[in-house]
């Protein structure tokens, strides 16, 4: 079967689709097809998805796209022109590749691709990772045959589950490497220590590993609160801080001018490690960590349960993104703690110290997470795609 894939803009739209792509390329006894499917990914010409998709070895075609919801009317007109060009390029790609089915995960680039598939009668499956869809996915879902969702509560936006509505609950597709790494935390920690050249991490000294990050782009407020409070955390934990590419120059400035503080011993100083971004190492970081601080992007709904990783979630306070609803879903199950962005400076360190000092609470959160885990989600979506591709529109 030929499967057209599209998703882009940020990592949160790319990694779930890559997990499904990996599944489609390596069918085994558990999968539907007897031989690997042929894949083509349509992303934007200059999008960050290009690097991630090519890194994974999936064929990539770039098209023109632009954000339509912008304040400047001139930009809106220019971007609308790009979208029209993108539709023409998508139609050409569909005519050339002749897909049996199309799979999209979000980002502006998906709009012309879904429209082209609709015009050429190619069935479309959308995956919505978040609990609440943005306006673009709501609109595109009208053109799609199926919408896969992470948890049952997300199905209502699409008329409920099949056969009444369009939704199927598959779970969040996580990378196979994470499923594998989460089976043995200790081994994951050893691997991470090797990949990051951080030998102290491999010591079995009972010191918890705290993973701090802010989504695929990094989060300024989380970074600043971390730099302000990290010295207080180091007597109780090792801290792996993914700063993000955008704020990396800020980290370098802070490290040059303010780190380490004179009162901190070299042993404690070496417990803090900052990195701009993690690629293949990310699966091991999630599996090895004992506690995380993160934004509440959709990945936390899938990756944290599989990794059984308790967290303090700090939803991005921007209208239209709706990360709070993602965080609430984990909090509702006793699987995470939520902190408002505006309270980071005062409350982040005390909240973390309380959780680090309470292994029983972390264990209860890990057990709640384990009940939400769907390590087979990529396979479930691959199966849905197979069924749609065989049925046609
Ligand atoms: C600002 C914004 O619009 N954010 C949205 C975006 O977030 P964002 O792109 O941050 O998405 P997520 O938090 O859902 O996913 C981030 C992904 O990047 C990976 N990762 C991250 C850092 C790193 O160093 N290495 C790495 O591999 C994570 O493991 C995860 O798989 O898409 C999500 C999915 O629709 C939404 O829920 C978010 O609201």
Q: Give yes or no for residue 29 having a pLDDT over 90.
A: no
Q: What does the pLDDT look like over 123-132, one tens digit per residue?
A: 999 999 999 9
If one residue of 7, 10, 67 were mutated to test the ligand 1 pocket, choosing by the most ligand atoms within 8 A of its CB, it would be: 10
Q: What does the pLDDT look like over 356-377, one tens digit per residue?
A: 999 999 999 999 999 999 999 9
Ligand 1 proximity of 251 Cβ (cutoff 6 Å): no
Ligand 1 proximity of 11 Cβ (cutoff 6 Å): yes
The domains spanning 2-173+376-391 and 176-372 adopt the same CATH topology = yes
* Mean pLDDT across 341-365: 98
* Mean pLDDT across 155-164: 96
Q: What does the pLDDT look like over 142-155, one tens digit per residue?
A: 999 999 999 999 99
Binding residues for UDP-N-acetyl-alpha-D-glucosamine: 10-12, 175, 216, 323
Q: Which residues pair with 104 in a beta bridge?
A: 6, 126
Q: What is the pLDDT of residue 53?
A: 97
Going by pLDDT thresholds of 50, 70 and 90, the confidence category of residue 171 is very high
Q: What is the pLDDT of residue 80?
A: 86
From the list 122, 87, 84, the residue with the least C-alpha distance to 103 is 122
Q: Which one is the CATH code of 2-173+376-391: 3.40.50.2000, 1.10.1740.10, 3.40.50.720, 3.40.50.1450?
A: 3.40.50.2000
Nearest CA to ligand 1 atom 38: 297
How do the domains of the chain map onto residue ranges?
A: 2-173+376-391, 176-372
- 80-84, 87-91, 330-334, range with the lowest pLDDT: 80-84
Bigger pLDDT: 393 vs 172: 172
What is the distance in A from the centroid of ligand 1 to the CA of 300?
9
Ligand 1 proximity of 8 Cβ (cutoff 6 Å): no
> d(Cα 204, Cα 189) in Å, to the nearest integer?
10
Task: State the chain's mean pLDDT as an integer.
Answer: 94
Q: What is the pLDDT of residue 33?
A: 53
Ligand 1 proximity of 106 Cβ (cutoff 6 Å): yes
Q: Give yes or no for residue 62 having a pLDDT over 70.
A: yes
What is the distance in A from the centroid of ligand 1 to the CA of 215?
4
Going by pLDDT thresholds of 50, 70 and 90, the confidence category of residue 169 is very high
Nearest CA to ligand 1 atom 15: 12
If one residue of 298, 322, 323, 328 were mutated to test the ligand 1 pocket, choosing by the most ligand atoms within 8 A of its CB, it would be: 298
If one residue of 49, 131, 150, 215 were mutated to test the ligand 1 pocket, choosing by the most ligand atoms within 8 A of its CB, it would be: 215
Overall fold of domain 176-372: Rossmann fold (3.40.50)
Q: Give yes or no for residue 32 having a pLDDT over 90.
A: no
* Mean pLDDT across 11-20: 96
Quick one: which atom of ligand 1 is closest to the CA of 299?
Answer: 14
Quick one: which atom of ligand 1 is closest to the CA of 277?
Answer: 24
Q: What does the pLDDT look like over 292-307, one tens digit per residue?
A: 999 999 999 999 999 9
Q: What is the pLDDT of residue 74?
A: 86
Nearest CA to ligand 1 atom 5: 297
């Amino acid at each position: 079967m030929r499967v057209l894939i599209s998703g882009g803009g940020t990592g949160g739209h790319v990694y779930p689709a890559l997990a499904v792509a990996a599944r489609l390329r390596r069918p085994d006894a558990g999968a539907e097809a007897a031989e690997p499917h042929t894949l083509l990914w349509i992303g934007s010409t200059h999008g960050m998805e290009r690097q991630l998709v090519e890194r994974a070895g999936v064929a990539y075609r770039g098209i023109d796209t632009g954000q339509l919801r912008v304040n400047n009317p001139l930009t809106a007109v220019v971007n609308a022109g790009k979208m029209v060009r993108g539709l023409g390029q998508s139609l050409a790609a569909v005519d050339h590749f002749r897909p049996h089915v199309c799979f999209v995960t979000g980002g502006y680039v998906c709009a012309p691709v879904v429209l082209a598939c609709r015009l050429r009668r190619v069935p479309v499956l959308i995956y919505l990772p978040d609990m609440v869809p943005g306006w673009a996915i709501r609109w595109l879902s009208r053109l799609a045959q199926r919408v896969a969702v992470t948890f049952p509560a997300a199905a209502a936006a699409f008329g409920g589950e099949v056969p009444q509505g369009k939704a199927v609950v598959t779970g969040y597709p996580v990378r196979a490497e994470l499923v594998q790494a989460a089976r043995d935390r200790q081994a994951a920690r050893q691997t991470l220590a090797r990949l990051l050249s951080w030998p102290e991490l491999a010591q079995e000294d009972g010191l918890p590993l705290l993973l701090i990050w802010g989504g695929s782009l990094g989060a300024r407020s989380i970074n600043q609160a971390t730099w302000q409070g990290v010295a207080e955390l180091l007597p109780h934990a090792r801290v792996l801080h993914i700063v993000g590419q955008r704020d990396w120059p800020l980290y370098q400035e802070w490290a040059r001018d303010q780190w380490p503080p004179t009162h901190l011993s070299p042993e404690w100083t070496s417990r803090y490690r900052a990195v701009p971004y993690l690629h293949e190492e990310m699966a091991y970081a999630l599996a090895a960590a004992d506690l995380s601080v993160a934004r509440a992007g959709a990945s936390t709904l899938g990756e944290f349960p599989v990794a059984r990783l308790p967290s303090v979630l700090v939803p991005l306070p921007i209208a239209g993104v709706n990360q709070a609803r993602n965080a609430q879903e984990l909090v509702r199950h006793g699987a995470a703690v939520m902190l408002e962005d505006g309270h980071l400076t005062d409350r982040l360190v005390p909240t973390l110290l309380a959780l680090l000092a309470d292994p029983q609470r972390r264990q209860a959160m890990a057990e709640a997470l384990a009940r939400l885990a769907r390590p087979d989600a990529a396979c479930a979506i691959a199966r849905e795609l197979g069924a749609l591709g065989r049925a046609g529109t």
